[in-house]
Amino acid sequence: MRTEKGFKIEKIIRPGQGRRVKGAEINCRCEAKQSGSRLIGAMADKQSSCGRSRSVWLWSRNFPLLLLSRRGVRGRPAAFTLIELLVSMAIIGILAAMLLSALTSSKRKSLQAVCLNNLRQIGVGMTVYAGDNQDYVIRARCDNPEKGSFVQICLDTQTVKSVQTVGLAVSSAENPSVWTCPDRPGLPIYENLYGGQWTIGYQYFGGITNWINPSFPEGIPSRSPVRLTQSEPTWCLAADAVIKCQRWGEIPAWHPGPAFENMPPHGATRLEAPPGGNQLFVDGSAQWIKFEQMYFLTTWMNGLDVRQAFFYQDTSDFNPALVKELPNLAAPGFR
């Protein structure tokens, strides 16, 4: 009797007989439930596998049960072919890539959530501080009082002492710290520059009275909070450090070290514009803002062409002259 190519008949078990073959109970009345086989001579019409055996049983109501096994030409068990191995390896590789992508995305979302919580804590602390200090929030570092230039990623040493009164310690010993995004580790850090300053991991706009940007290199009156009750709820108080120094991810030679490392946060790579960033507003709310919604509204002097900082703010109360320049300051134009 001939069978499919690659099979040979090993045993014939008569209908009604039950046996144990390779540790599996064979019963010709319960094995026929899968797709039909193509036996030449029509000795059987159904097939199924029993247990973990590599053998195949073929069953018919009117014919014996045939125990078939796949064997090579010389009776050796057939091995995987090269194509089967390559296909298996390709499938495993694809699944591994999908899993890695999912894990990376999950980690990125987790960091975004922690970052958002940090900003909310800063918002709560500033509200408490303003309540105890005649409605004033702490001020970002002013590097040129005469020209109204503020460094939104730095705080003065005296300011750091003041903010500790509301539980927002600025210290390199605090790790992790609410003053930096978890995607920018190593901050805050004290730098013995310009009389001493603390570099933080966010942009902080409290106390900034003047905005400096390419359209207004000498500055224009800001829309940043100085006193909370005189500020609009939609004004930005702090934001992720979405800052570009000549090129995305580049650490400037004139200021090496942690201050500009790991910029911008939250992107798949530091070498291109990020998808967006988290922001804190005067009303205490914090949310994710897409990069396409941001503007280059302010930075500090002596570096407009090599240091571009982006964040979003509602433009409804902007100075008309600034509104006119917004298309030139939109973040996508600096991508």
Judged against a pLDDT cut of 60, whether residue 46 lies above it is answered with no
Judged against a pLDDT cut of 90, whether residue 215 lies above it is answered with yes
Query: Strand locations in the chain, DSSP E?
Result: 7-13, 18-21, 24-27, 46-49, 55-59, 65-70, 141-144, 149-151, 154-155, 189-191, 197-199, 202-204, 210-213, 216-221, 236-240, 242-244, 276-281, 286-290, 308-310
Q: What confidence score (pLDDT) does residue 37 get?
A: 41
Judged against a pLDDT cut of 80, whether residue 151 lies above it is answered with yes
Q: What secondary structure letter does DSSP report for 314?
A: -
Q: What confidence score (pLDDT) does residue 115 get?
A: 97
Residue 211 pairs in a beta bridge with 220
Q: What confidence score (pLDDT) does residue 33 get?
A: 38
Structural domain boundaries in the chain: 1-96, 110-334
Task: Report the C-alpha gap between 110 and 108 in whole angstroms.
Answer: 5
> 180-213 pLDDT, tens per residue?
999 999 999 999 988 899 999 999 999 999 999 9
Find all residues with CB under 8 Å of 111, minimum gap 6, and list them: 181, 182, 183, 265, 266
Q: How confident is the model at residue 152 (pLDDT cuts 50, 70, 90)?
A: very high
> 218-237 pLDDT, tens per residue?
999 999 999 999 999 999 99
Average pLDDT, the chain: 82
Judged against a pLDDT cut of 50, whether residue 94 lies above it is answered with yes
Q: What confidence score (pLDDT) does residue 217 get?
A: 95
Torsion of CA 317, 322, 324, 328, to 10 degrees: -130
Q: What confidence score (pLDDT) does residue 208 get?
A: 98
> 247-302 pLDDT, tens per residue?
999 998 888 888 999 999 998 888 999 999 999 999 999 999 999 999 999 999 88
